[in-house]
Structure 1
């Protein structure tokens, strides 16, 4: 089958949705399917048309950005061209415009539409009012058009009021992880120092886009936790990621008196990222908002490298972390509990093989792609007719 993916951005842009679409598309190609992607052109020097890992990528000129959504006037024409060849259109929320136009044109072209609903659209101030208006109107139309709505964790159906009217169309497919790429490995001391880790000390790692749209990842809570005085040996923190909020976080670390123990490493290449996971003694993701945190893919990447994790109970993998003793799960926003959890993990022996085995058996992208292909087929993709009225 031929799958048309329409994320707002695609690799080399970084982010949870970007990683999801790239990894899923690559797994679909490896399974023998054709995949094309139509997306906005990122702020890097890349061709408008290229093939990435067997995926045909069409990048469109942008005229600006509202919130976290790139405006691409050429999107409707590009989609209509691609829809002539596609068997199914697979789009992604929480980015308006690209998802909404994709769903509407999929309906016009009589192509099945699948939406992966990564998380709710929320905001603050004026953006919050705009988000609420969108959620009551356009979002409802997009979800009504969709033949299937994918979510990455079961709890999201109960947490999101926007999904409940469409529960019969919702299917749960968790995120996956590239277990070949994210694998245990030795990192020489010189390389550890280059990335900001202390080869002779205790090291925490945090990874996120550092902008206002990702405040819910909880870096401010982590910095406050590290500033506490209950540590037996204060750990070092390496922060991966870039964004316009980075300077604010750097200033906050200085105000807390921990600037000498926090290294802002900036955007990491793929090779640097794998080494960073393996150089860490614990990976920490203290997400604070279950409405915005769709899953927490970075936790799977750390676990696949055999690294224990500390997270909050709003992430999609929290139950497995508890059930398989892969780290500690705490309540969101609790600085003291977060510090105690990190201290506990740093002081215990970790079964890296168990973490690795879980990722290989339950979270490989190969298995996730197979689950999604089954859903495509459930709505008639690959057959001569598609009943779009099926619940």
Structure 2
């Protein structure tokens, strides 16, 4: 395993995506915050350069230095040009700031780190093929400009950190040097997210003492994430309606589907069994996870190139997971050793898996212990960041490109 640099670094974290606030509540914002926390936990000084902040500032990041470059109001081509102009301005500011390394989250029309290639080493974090996403789900006016900036980023980054093999393959198809590409799945802050305290309601006794875990009252099934079609929350509601046991559902998060999902719950006759919390600040998520007995990631069939942050959080919380066997999830759950895998979109299979786990607290307790252990030893954000820094600062050809 790579080790962290012996000398603390001054790191410029560049986030130019106008859809992601540094202090927002959605998964991308949580991702940003956790990478920053992991870097700071090892003594590095981090300054964030961004175009959006939002207002949910966690107490432990209140002292984080954030330099915001405000974008003018506007949409389409005007917004795209504004991001490119902000990228140039931020690159100049970083160049003058004496930073040791740039950590840039890949954003359309941004080439901040690429402008400083050869002067400051950089890590480019790539979470998705954004050009295709923007074209399909939002709007993209200057696609040639977006492609040119993307290829500049991929060509010039010291290290390209891709969230999955599928994303790495996309980066290579756009010209990334294979020697500079590594696959870095998402991780979790195992200090911030912990299992439910011993003795709390629903906590299983230690089986090694010969006690059979028991639970009184309903079993709480949980979902954490943005309520959008590709998260499969509608499948989860339909599955809950077909369960036979005393199960409740706690939905943590909001999104464009929330109203439709609330209507669906009513139509299915399960509205009284479902709690829609709406948007929840990231610092409140650990306590929300403590109230769950089973956690879910019910993705529907389709392209799945990302690394679900929620699954790592579930593992850190010691929650038994029921998830779709799609994309990277089977590997994360060690093909059933850390959770139950079901066919994507199969309502009956999901309902059956929930019923079986709800009726077997002993199985849940075993999964809980194994999940927490895996999160701490394999998936902590500090492990991920140490490995990235070590590789980014290696001499050329000394070890990068390990996929």
TM-score, length-scaled by structure 2: 0.77
Query: What is the correspondence of 1:89-168 to structure 2 with a 5 Å cutoff?
Result: 89-93=102-106, 95-97=107-109, 100-107=110-117, 110-121=119-130, 122=133, 127=138, 137-158=148-169, 162=173, 166-168=177-179
Question: What residue ranges of structure 1 are gaps of 5+ in the alignment?
Answer: 190-197, 381-391
2:394 matched residue in structure 1:
378
Q: Is 2:381 the partner of 1:365?
A: yes
Q: Is 2:193 the partner of 1:206?
A: no
Shift of 1:199: 7.4
Conservation of the 8 A alpha-carbon contact between 2:25 and 2:56: no
Shift of 1:355: 1.4
* CA distance in structure 1 between the aligned counterparts of 2:139 and 2:239, rounded to whole angstroms: 29
Q: Is 2:42 the partner of 1:31?
A: yes
Q: Secondary structure at the match of 1:266?
A: coil
Deviates more, 1:152-161 or 1:244-253: 152-161
Shift of 1:268: 2.1
2:187 matched residue in structure 1:
176
Q: Secondary structure at the match of 2:255?
A: coil
Conservation of the 8 A alpha-carbon contact between 1:326 and 1:355: yes
Q: Secondary structure at the match of 1:36?
A: strand
Deviations 1:269-289 (A, max 9, x none): 345321221211111112236
Q: Indicate the RMSD between aligned Cα atoms, in angstroms.
A: 3.5
> CA 1:282/1:315 → structure 2, altered by over 3 Å: closer, same or farther?
farther
1:4 matched residue in structure 2:
12
Q: Secondary structure at the match of 1:239?
A: strand
TM-score, length-scaled by structure 1: 0.79
Shift of 1:102: 1.6
* CA distance in structure 2 between the aligned counterparts of 1:89 and 1:373, rounded to whole angstroms: 10
Conservation of the 8 A alpha-carbon contact between 1:10 and 1:22: no
Q: Secondary structure at the match of 2:192?
A: coil
1:194 matched residue in structure 2:
none
Deviations 1:307-342 (A, max 9, x none): 111112335353241346221122322222222222
* CA distance in structure 2 between the aligned counterparts of 1:164 and 1:328, rounded to whole angstroms: 38
* CA distance in structure 2 between the aligned counterparts of 1:137 and 1:170, rounded to whole angstroms: 19
Q: Is 2:299 the partner of 1:287?
A: yes
Shift of 1:89: 1.8
* CA distance in structure 1 between the aligned counterparts of 2:352 and 2:238, rounded to whole angstroms: 12
Deviations 1:138-173 (A, max 9, x none): 433332232321123335435777467543321122
* CA distance in structure 2 between the aligned counterparts of 1:353 and 1:332, rounded to whole angstroms: 26
Which structure carries more relative contact order (alpha carbon 8 Å, separation 6+)?
2
Shift of 1:110: 3.2
Q: Is 2:235 the partner of 1:221?
A: yes
1:79 matched residue in structure 2:
91
> CA 1:136/1:208 → structure 2, altered by over 3 Å: closer, same or farther?
same
Question: What residue ranges of structure 2 are gaps of 5+ in the alignment?
Answer: 1-8, 202-214, 397-403
